[in-house]
Structure formats: C-alpha cells, structure tokens
Structure 1
Amino acid sequence: FLFSDWMLSVGGFGRFQWIHVTLISLPGLLMASQNLLNNFTAGIPAHHCRILVNSTHYNLSNYEVPLLQVFIPLDASGTKLDRCRRYVQPQWQLLANGSANVSDAQTESCVDGWTYERTEFLSTIVSEWDLVCNLRPLKQMSQTVYMGGVLAGAIIYGGLSDRFGRRSVLIWSYFQVACLGSCSALSPSYSAYCIFRFLTGMAVSGVILNGVSLKVEWIPTKTRTLVGTLTSFFFTFGQLVLAGLAYWLRDWRKLQVVVCAPHFLCFAYSWWYSESARWLVLKQRSGEALKSLHRVARINGKPEMTEKITLEVLQSHMNKEIESSRSSYTAYDLLRTGGMRRISVCLLAVWFSTSFAYYGLAMDLQKFGVSIYLMQVIFGAVDIPAKFFALGMLTYFGRRVSQATCLLLSALIIFANIFVPSDMQTLRTTLACLGKACTSASFTTVYLYTGELYPTVIRQTGMGFASTMARIGSMAAPAVLILDEVFPALPSIVYGGAAVVAGGFACFLPETLNVPLPDTIEDVEDRCSRRKRAWP
C-alpha cells in the first residue's frame, strides 16, 4: 500500500489540491521578476560626460548632436558620442565646420559625472551610482551577487527543509523576500543594495524549491505531469508582468518595491498550507500526518475517510518507510549509493547547462537593438508554446526523452546562430527566441523530473544540491560573454557545447513517467536495480 494510494483515497486531485497548488504557484508571477529584474533595475541609459558651461549643467535631451560634438568626441565607430571622454576645451570650430580635424584635441575622463537620457529609464542603479565606464563591471556584479544568494539559499534552505519541513521554510522565505526585497529599494549605497539582493536571492531559492516539493508531494501520480507543466506558466506570465511593470514605472526603486511587497500577502495566506504528509510520516510524526490527511479528506468531500484512516492503519501500511527513515540524511547520501550517485551527477550536468544557456540568452536584452521592454515581452511570450511543447513531450514520450530533446534542440539553435551574419538582426533575434524557448522547456522538465527522482527523505536536499549547479551556471553565463572579444562566436560555442554534453547525461537518467514517488533511498536503488536487470 503506497502513499500514492492514500492520496487517491482522500480524493485524488480534489478541491484541496486545486487551492493548494494555485496558492503556492501564485508567487511564481513575481519569481520571474526577481530573476530577470537586473535587466531593468540595472539598465544602462544613453549617457555622456556632464557638460559645464557658465556654471550650467547641460542635459542630453536639450541638445542636437552637432552641438554636443563641441564638448564630446565621437567614439571609435565615428558615429556615436563617446560615453566616457570629453574635450578639455570646447571645440567651437565644429559648429562652423563639422569635418574639422580635432584628432589632436585633448580629452579627459568625466570628472564632473555623467548626464543620462531619461526616456527609456527614469532611474536605474547605473544612473544612481554612475556604474558606467570604469565601473561598468559593477552593473553585472549585482546580478552575480543575487545569483550567489540564490545559490546559497539552495544549499541552506534545501537542508533546512528536510529537517524542519517544507511548509515552515516556505513561510519564512516569503517573509524574507517581502522584507529584504523591499529594503533593497531603500539602499543608500551600491554595497548595501548588493547585500539586500544577496539575502533576497537566498529567500527566492527557498520559495521556488519548497514550493515545488510541497506541490509534488500532495499531487497524485497520474496528474503530476499536467499540474507541474501548467503551474510553470505562472513563471511565464510573470515575465510579461515584469515587462509591463518596468515599462509603467521606469524607476528602479519603485519597481523593486512593487515586485517584492506582494510577498507579504503570500506570507499571510501561506499559514493555510498543509505540511507534506509524506514528510511527516517519514519524520515519525504520524499523528500530524494523520491530521493533514483528515483535513484534506474533508476539504475534498470525503469525510468518511476520516473514520477509515486511523493512526494504526497509517503506521502499519507505512511501516517499511518509517523504519527506513529513522536515520538522518546529509548531502553525502546523494552520492553514497550507485543509483543516487548516477542520478545526482546527471542532474548536476542538466541543471548547469539549462541555466547556463537560459541566462546567457535572457540577461542581455539591450544587445538586440530594439526596445528592452518589447524584447522582454517577446522572450516571455515564446515560453507559452515552449511549455505546451514540453507538456506534450512529457506526457507521450516521458521525462528522459523530453529532457535530452530540449537540451539538444537548444544546442542546435545556438550553433545555427553562429552562421547568421550580424547584419541579419531579425533572424538572429528569432533564433535567440527559439533557443530561449527550448531552454525554458528544459527548465520546466528538470524541475518536475528532479522532484520525481529524489526520495522524500532527502528530496529537498537533492533539489537544493541539483539547483546549486543551476545557480553556478547563471553566475557563469554573463562572464562567458566576455569571450566574444577573443572570438565573436566563442560564447555561442560554449553555451551550445554545454547543452550537448548535458543532453548526453540526461539519457542516463531513469524514466519516471507514471511512476509513484520514491520515499526512501532504498526505493530508488530497487528501481535502478530492476532497470539494470531489464537491460539485455
């Protein structure tokens, strides 16, 4: 008698599951905002050195370019104003003769600061703290620091969840995002902003990982694929919400508050959640598990099951799992046995490459030469058909084939973009969108797949361990873009090559389509052993 049978006896996917899954999924509308927020809060407005003439500060929007050329030299391309230099003395002769030779004119750095264009962004951390020219690497550093927080959160909150429960850590994570995320908007300095973003990233990891596990552990086997894929649309629609909010507000402090403060509401209603009955049973808290099952039965319209499911019945049917869970587990147990080791190593490769390619494409929207808000909408919209593609693949071909196919398709598209000339910007952008769609489908698959592969006793530790590599991938992705100075196609070769390798690793993962969730490490090893014996 498996735990999945208990789920069916208390109503299967009933009213409780609908409410439970919806409430846990709602914050996904804002999780996309957190991960992609840097595109807008750290957007780089058009700028040039501040001009001082007769003690008057001149603003870019007040001048025609020919007049500005009196004060600002052209950049290396000869078509745009230099962003980091100005003439020591104004070159007034350029007004009479625009082609006058000023190559010998002395220039200096922007000692009086910069003037920023206010049309695309009213305010960003770049314009607030002058993160341009020599300080430009600090723009991307803020995203790296945030992803470092997500990485730390995956490690810390994954272990805490297996020890103290999914519900408790999830509730705390909501509160941490709401408080510290909102505090980011009040940051008096760049350093303070990075600290708050790091702590917010930790909490975001807690929300995502615990939300996934708490949903999966209350969903019957047959409906996991459909529910897991459909709930991922909250993240997709969140990307569209982010584009709308950023376009409306255009101020990084206001945007920061708007995407973080709603988590106070999530914190308020999250007390309604029921702790995972699976986890409670395996932690020798069968009395609390029984209360949770009775509560679910009543909400699902099965009150008669409260009489049939007693403590004695529950313990007798789950005795094997209870005995197996008496020892404590650590991250070492993810690699201790053969089956767990193979799953963990393969998942590390899949998570790293998926995140590596995804954020390599999604975190530099200004390079496409069109409105950053429009690009965010396009990149969000392509996720919709990608998720339906993933749903069809997961339902009819299973997890392993879906995971490998998504990774190999993304690699193929990334490689194809190498051969498209740079002046064919529309085609390059289209291929980038298709590549992003494939990596998005890969993300949808791996979140569901990982939750199904790891056993309940160590599921959160496993989720945290695997997603740690995703955070390393997201931190490494922007750094790889620097390689285009060595060879323009090199970043694409690295992104695509990583996806090919991960697609190979995915082929060695066991299939979990319509398979009950494993509760103990022994369950995983038994399934791996049966799979080996089934091979000729």
Structure 2
Amino acid sequence: MWTYNASNIVYQKCSIELQMNPNESSVQSKTIPCVNGLDFSGPIDESIVSEWNLVCNNDGLSELTQTLLTVGQSAGALIFPSLADRIGRKPIHVGCGVALFLTATGCSLASNYWLFAILRGLCGVFQQGMLIPGFTMSLELFPANRRTLMVSLVNIWWAVSVTLLAPLAYAVRFYSWRVLTAVVGCTAVFSVFEFWYIHESVRWLFANNQIDKGKKILQTAANVNGVDFDALWTKSMELLEKTSSEEKSKDRTNLTEDVTTNMVKNSRHNSVQIEADMIEAVRSDKGESTIAMIGLMKNPHTRYISFVIQYAWLIISLTYFGLYLTSSSLSGDRYTNYFLTALMEIPSTIILMKMFMAYGRKKTIVSMMLVAAGGLVAVSILKSFEKSYALDIVSTVFFLIGMAGISGACSGMWLYTPEIFPTNLRTAAMGLASATARLGSMVSSYTRILAMYAPWAPGLIFGGGCLLACSLFFLLPETHNRQLPQTVEQMEEWMQQQKEKRIGKKKQRAETKKNIIFKKNPLIESKLENKSENKTLPADI
C-alpha cells in the first residue's frame, strides 16, 4: 500500500514531489503538477505573469508580448512612412496617434492574455506610425539653423519622460499592473487634438505639387510674424526665374536664401522662415513622380549611405536597449538601476546639442559612439576580474558613461538620418532605419541571458559594434547648416563633394609635410631649386 504524510511532500516551483513508501525497505518519488493552483509572493494582479499564470509551461508567453511589440514596431516602420510620403505626414501622424491612445489604454482593460498580446502588437504598429512621420514633419518645419535646437528639445523631453517612468512605476508598485499601463497609455490623448492645431509639412506639399496649400500655410505664418508675404513671394519667384539653368542652381539658392533671411530679420518672432529649397522644390519637383526606395540602391554613393545608416541604427539600437535590459545587473534595486540609466540621457542630450552646434553632425555622432565603445569595453574588462564592491562601483560608472554615449548617438541619428535623404524618400528612409533598429531591439532581449553566462560578453559586443560603425561613418557627408536635399541627385552630389574634400585634405597634408621637410633641410631646398634651373646636382642628393 502507498503511504505518505506531510513530511513526504516537497513543493517545487512548478510541481509537487511525493516521496512514497510502498514498504519500509524502499522509497519512491513521484512528481505531480500543482493541483491546487499557484501561490505568488505578491498580489495576484501585480503583473500579467501572476494574473494569467505565465509561469512554468507558460513562462514563454510573458516574453512573447515584448516580441509582439517589437514585431509591430517593425511592421509599422515599414508600412506607415511610405504612406506618409504618399498621402501626407499629418493624416498618418494624427491617425496613428489616436489609434495608439485607444490600443494602449485598451491594454489596461484586457480581460485575457491573448487580447492583451494582440493589443500590445498593435501598439507597436501605431507607435511607429505616429513617431516617424511626426518627427519628419517637425524636422521639415524648421530651417537649417533651427533644426538642432528643435531635435534637442524633443530629445530632452524624451529623456525626462523615460526618467520619470522609474518614480512613477515605484509609486504604483503596490497597485495593479493595469494602473501603470493606463497612466502610460493616456499620455497619447493629446493626439486627439492635433488635428486642429498642427499643419501639414510645407516641404511635402511643395514636393507633391500642392503649392496652393503650402502657400496658404506660409501666408498664415507670415501674418503671425508681421511679414509682407505677397511681396516676399513675388520677389523670390522673380529671382528663381532669372536662373533657370542647372549651372546656376547654386546662385539661385543663395539669392532666395538672402530673401528668406530678410524675412526672419524683419519678423516680430524669429520662429518662421521660408527656406530657399522649399521654393526650389516648386521648380525641381513639379510633375515628378514619387521616387521608389529602390532608387537609392542604383547608385554606389547612395547605396553606401543607406548601408551605413542601417548598420548604425542596428548597432545603436542593440546597444541602447541592451543597456536598459542589462541594467538589472548593476548594484541596487531595479528601480534605482533603471532611474540612473535613464537619467544619463539628460546630460547626454545637452552635450549633444552643444557639440552639434560647434562640430556638426558627423563628428558629434562618431564621438558619442567612441565614448560608448570605450565605456562598455572597460566594463567588459572589469567583469573579467573577480567580483568585489570596488569593481562593482567602477563598473557602474563606466556602464553609465557608455549609456550616455550611446544615448547621444541614438538622438543624433534621429536628426542626421532625415537630413541626408531627399524629401520624397525621407520618411520612407526613416521607416526603414526604424525597422532595422527594431531588429536590434529584438536581439538585445537576449543579451540579458548572455550576461548570465558571460558577464563580459555584452559590453564587448556593444563596444566592438560601435567602433565599426565609427569607421564607416567617416565617409559620409556632413549635413550641418545645409538645406535638406530634394532629390537623389543632391545626395550623390554631397557624396562627390565629400570625396573631393577628402582628397583635397590628403593633398594638403602631403604638401604641408613636404614644406616642413624643406624648412628643416634648407640644403635640400636649395639643391631642388638648382635642379629646376637645369643645373647639375651633386651626387649626395
């Protein structure tokens, strides 16, 4: 007969082990499932894991929701930017913002796991549909000398928001997970009102031959700033008509820039400027069909730009999200770790803005990636030593330095990417870049598992990838204080100018080195002068 008592029962994490004694001389064990359900240390609604029992055989379902969010982001990044290039930035941005508000708040009301998982995936789709066209529209609204400030303000607001998430989560840690989900979802409610107070991108209207709509928006802006728009528009068009040949296109741009600069100087508020390339778009893009994304791959220059941009987004996203996910390995609780990691984005954004204005886009992004690579490689080296309190502190410092660097590089890419692509491809290019970044974020979820087996490995992978991105970035053109390109041909021209500039610098360095040698060796210089006069030189030359 099988007999057992309380001392024969062992409760495991996902099962019950029974030690049964059919007779006194033998002991047999039997494992059975948890017949009376599961017991969690916290409230049943503390998380989706405890509410829907996503443990044991169902533990993979908890990670599936994050995967669905990332897959949704990839899908949204590929679908909506192309639509925004075709039907406009505003309708896609506003429509996806309203849909995001509904799906995000709907997650907090989901009655079962599968409804929650579907809504989670849709959140990713609409989040990218709102973010990318909205960011592109904001970038196209401002002139070249204001874009850095605009992007910096957006990045600072992002940094403040992700930092505030830590104290918010800490404040509601004893409440249901639905409370935090609802609060975060309600932040998208402002999208409902955007339909009335934002305008379509004037650049997009001009590039798609909707001149009257764009002119009306600019006229409204001119009235707000106290500028005589009719006189300015007429004068600008007259100047453009005088220079119709392609050889004088640069002069045409300079002439219209002078006119639009006067508009800013004479305005009461220095917030609106009609850029020359907006007016030029009326001429260059009139009757031009939307360029397919495949057009970027036809030319080796634009193909190289696209390749480097996609790789940079991949490694930056992998590193950025990987650091957030591995922040739990730092000393302290998870709320403090997340808060410190997110807090580094604020000084990083401020430094990024200053460097953008002083050194331009390319040098700043490369510098930020070098800082990230240095900090993360240092963490990898420290992790290879025996663990101690002092090493933990130093590792945390280098970890935060690496986070500051990669955060700055990520923010910089949001400005550099749309600046380097032409108008009809700008949003589509941002969508492709964002989709590539989603691949990096999906892979980053596995770095936490990798860190359990090899603590030094994630930092080495992140740092090495950033160093490779830096080396590829040096061949890209600078976009600081340059008008946004309207066509693929302008991208090719930028790359050609970059190549000529690089060759010119090499020649200049060689010439400078040659002159230094001559100054240090006057005998050689005098003998070379004699040679130029067809005189026979001594044998020691």
Select which of 173, 191, 196 maps to 1:271. 196
Deviation at 1:383, TM superposition (A): 1.0
Alignment of 1:291-306 (within 5 A): 291-302=216-227, 304-306=228-230
Residue 167 of structure 2: aligned partner: 244
Residue 480 of structure 2: aligned partner: 513
Deviation at 1:298, TM superposition (A): 1.8
Indicate whether 1:431 and 2:398 are aligned.
yes
Residue 461 of structure 2: aligned partner: 494
Residue 524 of structure 1: aligned partner: 491
Unaligned 5+ segments in structure 1 are 1-52, 55-68, 74-81, 91-102
Indicate whether 1:476 and 2:443 are aligned.
yes
Q: Equivalents in 2 of 1:264, 1:151: separation in Å?
A: 23
Structure 1 contact 452–518 (Cα < 8 Å) conserved: yes
Residue 368 of structure 2: aligned partner: 406
Alignment of 1:250-289 (within 5 A): 250=173, 251-289=176-214
Q: Equivalents in 2 of 1:460, 1:258: separation in Å?
A: 30
Identify, as 1 or 2, the structure richer in helix. 2
Indicate whether 1:313 and 2:280 are aligned.
no
Residue 50 of structure 2: aligned partner: 127
Residue 267 of structure 2: aligned partner: none
Deviation at 1:287, TM superposition (A): 0.5
Structure 1 contact 290–310 (Cα < 8 Å) conserved: no
Task: Name the TM-score, length of structure 1 as normaliser.
Answer: 0.77
Q: Equivalents in 1 of 2:106, 2:132: separation in Å?
A: 23
Which whole-Å deviations, capped at 9, do the CAs of 1:254-312 have from their partners, x for residues lacking one?
Answer: 2111111232232213431111111101101001010111111122332x224532699
Deviation at 1:326, TM superposition (A): 0.8
Alignment of 1:46-445 (within 5 A): 83-88=13-18, 110-118=34-42, 123-250=46-173, 251-302=176-227, 304-309=228-233, 313=237, 317-318=279-280, 321-323=283-285, 326-368=288-330, 370-420=332-382, 421-424=386-389, 425-445=392-412
70 and 146 in structure 1: CA distance in 2 versus 1, 3 angstrom threshold: farther
For the residue of structure 2 that corresponds to 1:441, the secondary structure is: helix
Structure 1 contact 287–311 (Cα < 8 Å) conserved: no
Give the share of equivalent positions with the same residue, in percent.
27
Q: Equivalents in 2 of 1:154, 1:207: separation in Å?
A: 10
270 and 533 in structure 1: CA distance in 2 versus 1, 3 angstrom threshold: same
Structure 1 contact 225–391 (Cα < 8 Å) conserved: yes
Residue 454 of structure 1: aligned partner: 421
Task: Name the TM-score, length of structure 2 as normaliser.
Answer: 0.76
405 and 472 in structure 1: CA distance in 2 versus 1, 3 angstrom threshold: same
Which whole-Å deviations, capped at 9, do the CAs of 1:379-429 have from their partners, x for residues lacking one?
Answer: 221111111221222222221111122222212222211222444433333
Deviation at 1:86, TM superposition (A): 4.7
Residue 31 of structure 1: aligned partner: none
For the residue of structure 1 that corresponds to 2:39, the secondary structure is: strand
Q: Equivalents in 2 of 1:217, 1:381: separation in Å?
A: 29
Higher relative contact order (CA 8 A, sep 6+): 1
Which whole-Å deviations, capped at 9, do the CAs of 1:490-535 have from their partners, x for residues lacking one?
Answer: 3333222222222222222211111111122122122222222333
Which whole-Å deviations, capped at 9, do the CAs of 1:417-443 have from their partners, x for residues lacking one?
Answer: 122244443333333222222111111
Residue 504 of structure 1: aligned partner: 471
332 and 492 in structure 1: CA distance in 2 versus 1, 3 angstrom threshold: same
> How many residue pairs align between the two structures?
448
| More moved, 476-485 vs 203-212 | 476-485
Deviation at 1:202, TM superposition (A): 1.2
484 and 370 in structure 1: CA distance in 2 versus 1, 3 angstrom threshold: closer
Unaligned 5+ segments in structure 2 are 21-26, 242-278, 504-541
106 and 436 in structure 1: CA distance in 2 versus 1, 3 angstrom threshold: farther
Letter in 1 for 2:351: F
